Amino acid sequence: MTVLRVRGFALPEGEPIDLYADGDRWTRDPVAGAELVAEGWILPGLVDAHTHPGAERPGLPLDADVLREDLRAHLDAGVTLIRAPGLAGDPPEWFGRADDSPRAFHAGPWIAQHGQFMQGWGRRPGLAELPAVAAEQAARTGWAKVVVDWLPDDAVMPVDVLREAVDRVHAVGGRLAVHTQHGAGGSVAVEAGVDSVEHGMGLDFDLLPRMAERGIALTPTLSVITASLAKTLADPEDVRRSWYVPGASAHARLTAAAVEAGVTVLAGTDSRPHGGIAAEVRALATAGVPPHEALAAASWSARSYLGLPGLVDGAVADAVVYATDPRADLGQLDRPRAVIVRGRRVR
């Protein structure tokens, strides 16, 4: 296997660097005969922290061929690590390990209350069994995903149930993500001490300091919520208007405020087609998040949150290289010079 070499300026610090892929690990020690594959501004690989690959539309079962296509689209966009907080089924063994796949964390199928969530997807245990189901999932894959609220008139998951789920997931060494798009659900999630709030639409701004203090991350999926807001506003008959418009209209401000409050904000796309992480980073910047922090949410900060170091000796050999500093021109994210995962160039 040819040893790959990249050279340039490493983010987040922007320091000059020369890296060699020693198998699946970076080293700064020169390797004779290494192939220089790219020079420029180097990131430790992009991250999509909220994506659901493998099914062409809600309710369909997981399709291995669709999954491969979706993962390839992520790689083409420079995404070398994904987190899938909810899948249409248990993925094949090669998921997150194959040469043509980003690294991956996943939470298995969603866990929801009876009568809620998308038909055909997820599991719906009784409330008494739900914490154990979440813990079993987290013990297998490291993450579990719970839907704490759904439609406006649906019951929000009781805080004592969610708190027990958090405790039991943590006891097996896992982490718990929650779907919430209503203020009441967001309050329950923060009170229960979950690990990440997904979407978070309608979240009370006053809860942001507590999230920062407790290390609760926010994945705002801003670009898809902004797009849905535009569609909702354009359709006066849309039944979601009364609850969706207020929360979605404030979501950009909430996201910027979360960064200002010190909350770990993660970039996630939550939509098809896959490979749209650049649009999410630009949505964060448009919302008022400084470009450095917007890019961090899709790279080094997200990788650190998920337990992977950046461009240091011994780190996994992932990287994406751009011609110029992408913080000064976020359009660079559409034009990577090279994408490397597991010490192999895939673009």
Claim to verify: residue 340 and residue 287 sit in the same structural domain: no
pLDDT at 149 over 80: yes
**What is the average per-residue pLDDT within 151-179?**
97
- pLDDT attached to residue 175: 98
Q: How confident is the model at residue 240 (pLDDT cuts 50, 70, 90)?
A: confident
234 shares its domain with 145: yes
The answer as to whether 57 is a domain residue is no
pLDDT of residue 157: 98
Domain presence at residue 93: no
Which pLDDT score is estimated for 236?
79
Do 193 and 245 share a domain, yes or no?
yes
| % of the chain at pLDDT higher than 70 | 100
Q: Averaged over 184-204, what is the pLDDT?
A: 98
Burial of 59 (0-12, 13-18, 19+ CB in 10 A): exposed
The CB-side HSE value for 160 (13 A sphere, CA atoms) comes to 2
170 and 296 share a domain? yes
Three-state DSSP class for 89? coil
- Both 326 and 180 in one domain: the answer is no
CA separation for the pair 185, 180 (Å, rounded): 6
| Residue 232 falls inside a structural domain | yes
The four Cα atoms 305, 162, 108, 136 give a dihedral, to 10 degrees, of 100
**Can you tell me which residue has the tokens 């929000």?**
156
pTM recorded for the entire structure:
0.97
Q: Looking at the structure, do residues 26 and 125 belong to the same domain, yes or no?
A: no
Same domain, 116 and 245: yes
Closest CA to 288 of 320, 341, 251: 251
In whole angstroms, what is the distance from residue 273 CA to residue 342 CA? 24
| Same domain for 116 and 230 | yes
Q: Could you tell me the maximum CA-CA distance found in the chain, to the nearest angstrom?
A: 66
- Ranges of beta strands (E only) in 166-233 are 175-180, 196-199, 217-219
101 part of a folded domain: no
Residue 238 DSSP one-character state: -
Please report, for the domain that includes residue 188, its CATH number. Answer: 3.20.20.140
Q: Which residues pair with 144 in a beta bridge?
A: 176
Residues 254 and 277 in one domain: yes
Q: pLDDT tens digit string along 285-303?
A: 999 999 999 999 999 999 9
Domain count, the chain: 2
Question: Are residues 211 and 339 located together in one domain of the fold?
Answer: no
Per the domain annotation, does 56 fall within a domain? no
Same-domain check for residues 297 and 316 = no
Q: What pLDDT digit, counting tens, does each position of 7-43 carry? A: 999 999 999 999 999 899 999 999 999 999 999 999 9
Amino acid, single-letter form, for residue 220: P
Residues 6+ apart with CB under 8 A from 235: none
Distance between CA atoms of residues 9 and 17, nearest Å: 6
Could you tell me if 341 and 196 lie in one domain? no
> What span, in angstroms and rounded, lies between the C-alpha atoms of 77 and 72?
9
Q: How confident is the model at residue 335 (pLDDT cuts 50, 70, 90)?
A: very high
Domain limits at 27?
A: 4-43+311-345
Q: Cβ-count burial of 93 within 10 angstroms (0-12 exposed, 13-18 middle, 19+ buried)?
A: exposed
Give the mean pLDDT of 74-79.
98
341: CATH: 2.30.40.10
Q: pLDDT tens digits for 88-125?
A: 999 999 999 998 899 999 999 999 999 999 999 999 99
